[in-house]
Structures are given as structure tokens and as C-alpha cells.
Amino acid sequence: MKLKDKVVYITGGSKGIGYSTAKVLLAAGMKVAISGRTLKSVQEAAKSLGGDSNVLALASDVTKHTDEINAVEQIISKWGQLDVVLANAGVGNFAPIDKMTEDEWHQMINTNLNGVFHTLKATVEELKKTEGYYITLASLAGTNFFANGAGYNATKFGVVGFTQAAMLDLRQYGIKVSTIMPGSVATNFNDHEPSEKDAWKIQPEDIGELVLDVLKMNPRTLPSKIEVRPTRPDLK
């Protein structure tokens, strides 16, 4: 894919992996739309990214299909096309299953799993026109279960399965579909505040560079499922 002036939409783009990926793709010459649940936070992120005509801030809650439809309409109104989508928005609630509340469970299902469906449904017709790329941000938790992770595991296992099946459905249209499955990443996820103690982890910009590498691949080749982890575990 020739990246200059291509249009990318990133959900959960106001911080962490979404923000860092937006920064990397902007530097590669792409036009970037980022969304989040509150317009103020996304506008602040867009300003930090440069705030020029190549950045679009959108308020969208991925748990609501109508929000995602509206976001895509704004992207098309501004730039007339959509080439790449990164379904990145996600939440994590970690607790033993007997302690997890229904609200915590449904929040993860609605954001992590329903969200990627809503984003794909809202963007797929535009991606057909451009033979574009749809990428989900899953996790190694999508293949490796762990205690206190029943809800999170369930959603990420679901995202991996959803993405791989969607890849088989959509490649007939020339749409490329991939999922990226990171291990430990130094982000604000789950209210964590990154510090020097997180230096051993994958950094958000590393995922952004990975997305860029995927987009640069010859279109005849599709890395449909990508596992990525820290080179070395935390050495205490």
C-alpha cells in the first residue's frame, strides 16, 4: 500500500497504542481520524498530534453502532475515502469469576467484542471500495488464559476468532484483515501509570511501527495473526 494521503481510522485513539499508532502513521504521510468516548479528550490528543488538516477528532462510543456509523460518515465527508481501520478500543476488568460483577462482564463484552463488530460493520462498505485493511488489537490473552481473567480472556479469544473468520469472509473483496496480539505493553490500560519500571515492556510506539510494517507489505501477502511480546521478561 502506498501510504501517503491514505486515510486511517483508529478507535481508542486518544492515548496509549491508538495514539502512538496515529503518530507513526501521520509521520508516514497518512491522514488519521481518532475516536474516543469523550470529544474533549480526543481533541486534546489531536492537538498534541499536530492539530492540522491531516488529523480528525471524533467522539464515538464503540459499544454503540450508530456512533461508529456517524464517525465513518464524518471521515468520508472530510476526506472522501477510508483505507485502513484499527479497532483498538478496549477495557479490562480483572477479578475471580465469583467476584466479577455483571456490569464488569458486560462492559468488556460490549467494548472489546461488540465494539470490533460495530466498527467493522460501519466501515466495511468503504473498505470494499478501497480494498482496504481492517486490523483488530487483540492480546496474547486471546490464546493464553489466566486466573482473574475470565472476562478479559473471553473477549480477546472472541476477537481473535472474529477477526480470523472475518478475514476469510472479506478477502474476496480484496480487503485484508489482521489481528495483532501483544503481550505486556507500557500503557495506561486498566488505570496503570507507565514508569521506568515498564521499560522492559513493549512500548506503544512499537505497536505503531508494527502496524506500519504490516501496511507496507506487498498486498499479495497477508500476516493475518501476529503475536508480539517483550524480548525479555521483567528481570527483578
Q: Which residues are catalytic?
A: 152
Amino acid 152 reads Y
Angle ∠(165,167,169) on CA atoms, nearest 5: 75
**CA nearest to 111, candidates 72, 67, 171, 75:** 67
- Pure H helices in 49-197: 65-79, 102-108, 114-130, 150-170
Dihedral over Cα of 137, 143, 149, 155: its sign: positive
Report the alpha-carbon distance of residue 200 to residue 198 in Å, rounded: 5
24: CB partners within 8 A, 6+ apart:
205, 208, 209, 211, 212
What region, left, alpha or beta, does residue 51 occupy, with left being phi > 0 and alpha being psi -120 to 50 degrees?
left
